[in-house]
Structure 1
């Protein structure tokens, strides 16, 4: 087998090229020491039907991820296209990020945000190392499509919505 040359990809090029792929916007929520925590992610995917597994990819630099990991359970909230301001609020810094954010508890005890398109309630099944991120795998315990509407998308540095072709 011939040796192949390793190409160095700079992060700006990587972001620019992958920015051409739209992603949905989710908020992963949990309760840590009695207080709600949240992390906005654009890297969420289904993994397996049997057993039902999903995954998201927290940065190793995230300050919210250790709290969610410690909780051992979380809820993935799929934001609607009308929830851009909520996304910005929950992605900010500070302890008052949940100020005015209405939610209810899932059966697992994680926050389900009001007005989301769908939610997926999980227990943490596995965490894998992946470069400057982790791969967090959740075992789905319950899920529901909540509100009819369009999901919030992130594309080329901005937010938008999906308009299906007829």
Structure 2
């Protein structure tokens, strides 16, 4: 069943939102919501940019699409708004250094040329993450002080199942302002 395009519209423009929970309460609620971690890179032509996000979600398998949000206040935001190509890195616990570096303000994320390279298509990639996905931004939606990006995935580097079970690929999670890794001890 397809949904007619007329069903997709802005119901209430953000400048007309009059009732909101305060910022600190909103942040406190999501502080306790665990989230997977991704590092996203791009290059708008000036220089490569990277940021850590916890907002990555798959939204479609046919075609393969993901969404993520970026804060307009981020130093990397301009590069992501000017470029249509991204590489989404899925770091494991062994790549905590990458997630921390891409989250830290004022850090040159590409200072060490031994940690990253460029794909033949030009995008910067950190090849040591357990998986990465190259995507093309197909839609952007303003949402308050953030922008939601929809990316169509056109290329991927994903390990085989045996590689995924070793400790080096333990999933990296952010919860209560702290980095965590998932393992057999977290299984319920």
TM-score by length of 1: 0.86
Give the gaps of 5 or more residues in structure 2.
1-17
Query: Residues 2-81 of structure 1 correspond to what in structure 2 (within 5 A)?
Result: 8-33=20-45, 35-81=47-93
Counterparts of 1:107 and 1:12 in 2: how far apart (Å)?
44
What is the distance in 2 between the residues matched to 1:152 and 1:139? 23
Deviation at 1:107, TM superposition (A): 4.4
- Say which structure is richer in strand: 1
Larger radius of gyration: 2
User: How many residues matched?
Assistant: 161
- Aligned residue for 2:86, secondary structure, equals strand
Alignment map for 1:74-113 (pairs within 5 Å)? 74-94=86-106, 96-100=108-112, 102-113=115-126
In the other structure, the counterpart of 2:157 is 144
Instruction: Quote the RMSD (CA, aligned, Å).
Output: 2.0
Is the contact made by 2:101 and 2:107 (CA closer than 8 Å) also made in structure 1?
no
* 4+ runs deviating over 6 angstroms: none
Alpha carbons 1:69, 1:124 under 8 Å: kept: no
Between the aligned partners of 1:90 and 1:61, the Cα distance in structure 2 is: 15
**Partner residue in 1 for 2:134:** 121
- TM-score, with length taken from structure 2: 0.77
Gaps of 5+ in 1: 1-5
